[in-house]
């Protein structure tokens, strides 16, 4: 565990940490914000933020505008990278596959299977590291994410319903098995057996019986990917049929960018903080 960057912000500490990952077999970096309350000696609730296609930990760290809300509510925020990187790690020329596009799955297809094990990384390895090194209360966890990371947040929470007290998402890919981004990624990483895809598809998981208590989802009405890749109406229908309390907010005029995310980030963190305090 090596701290490669540290900055003071809102009375807390913003760190970027590098470590050798046993899951991916590569060095991995993540950002972690420790609010000022972390200096008091007690454990604090932790919010996991999963980023979208092409992103690293840096996108939300530099543009997400989360630190003031985390400092106000006493929340640790952890933002991992979206894929393994480096020499010897396979890649693809397209932005929506390969490095920067791990899709939060454990790949089973060559040449991706050796390193692209992001499901294990974000659900097992990184939580264990954070719990061991930082004052994170693992009994009080929340998860959120954007786009591909929204897909990751929803699927991780649906498959670990007792781990997270709350889950939200910004412009998530809710049904990757039914849209081009998801079909390419799931097919490339997991192969042609669509039954295997369902474990990484929020709508399919709900249809197959997975449940969480409630969801908060924001999408922008000016998002270029709304109708082709995100399809929030599919999540809306699945939650209605399953009895899951979904708050789906269609925000007028907002797009897919971090201008959108930063606008509603504090609102999401406030929502998580209320549930983490129960």
Identify whether 37 is part of a domain.
yes
Confidence (pLDDT) at 107: 98
CATH number for position 99: 3.40.50.1820
DSSP E strands, the chain: 2-9, 12-20, 27-34, 44-50, 76-80, 136-145, 164-170, 214-220, 245-251
Q: Which residues are catalytic?
A: 147, 223, 256
Confidence (pLDDT) at 41: 87
Identify whether 220 is part of a domain.
no
DSSP at 192? S
Identify whether 236 is part of a domain.
no
Give me the domain span that covers residue 105: 2-172+251-276
Work out the average pLDDT over 85-108: 97
Question: Based on the structure, what is the number of domains in the chain?
Answer: 1
Identify whether 241 is part of a domain.
no
Query: Which tokens sit at 66?
Result: 């989360």
Q: DSSP states of 59-118 as a string? A: HHHHHS--HHHHHHHT-EEEEE-SS--STT----SSTTSBTTB-TT-B--STTTTTT-BH
Query: Which tokens sit at 188?
Result: 């490339």
Identify whether 89 is part of a domain.
yes
- pLDDT tier at 173, thresholds 50, 70, 90: very high
- pLDDT tier at 71, thresholds 50, 70, 90: very high
What pTM did the predictor assign?
0.98
Identify whether 151 is part of a domain.
yes
Identify whether 197 is part of a domain.
no
Q: What is the tens place of the pLDDT at every residue in 218-275?
A: 999 999 999 999 999 999 999 999 999 999 999 999 999 999 999 999 999 999 999 9
Work out the average pLDDT over 87-109: 97
Identify whether 215 is part of a domain.
no
Q: Within 10 Å of residue 180's Cβ, how many Cβ atoms?
A: 12
- List the one residue out of 1, 71, 3 whose CA is nearest residue 39: 71
């Amino acid at each position: 565990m090596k701290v490669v960057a540290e900055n003071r912000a809102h009375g807390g500490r913003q760190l970027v940490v590098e470590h050798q990952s046993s899951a991916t077999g590569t060095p991995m970096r993540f950002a972690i914000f420790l609010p000022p309350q972390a200096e008091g000696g007690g454990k604090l609730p932790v919010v996991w933020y999963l980023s979208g296609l092409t992103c690293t930990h840096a996108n939300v760290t530099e543009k997400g505008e989360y630190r003031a809300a985390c400092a106000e509510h006493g929340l640790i925020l952890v933002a991992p990278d979206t894929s393994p990187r480096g020499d010897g790690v396979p890649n693809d020329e397209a932005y929506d596959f390969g490095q920067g596009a791990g899709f939060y799955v454990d790949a089973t297809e060559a040449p991706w299977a050796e390193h692209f094990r992001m499901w294990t990384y974000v659900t097992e390895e990184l939580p264990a590291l954070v719990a061991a090194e930082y004052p994170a209360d693992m009994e009080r966890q929340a998860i959120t994410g954007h786009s591909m990371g929204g897909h990751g947040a929803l699927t991780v929470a649906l498959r670990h319903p007792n781990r997270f007290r709350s889950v939200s998402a910004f412009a998530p890919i809710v049904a990757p098995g039914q849209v081009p981004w998801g079909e390419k990624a799931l097919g490339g990483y997991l192969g042609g057996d669509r039954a295997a895809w369902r474990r990484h598809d929020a709508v399919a998981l709900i249809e197959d019986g997975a449940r969480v208590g409630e969801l908060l989802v924001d999408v922008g009405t000016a998002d270029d990917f709304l109708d082709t890749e995100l399809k929030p109406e599919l999540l809306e229908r699945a939650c209605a049929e399953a009895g899951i309390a979904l708050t789906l907010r269609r925000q007028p005029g907002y797009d897919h960018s971090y201008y959108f995310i930063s606008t509603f980030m504090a609102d999401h963190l406030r929502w998580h903080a209320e549930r983490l305090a129960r």
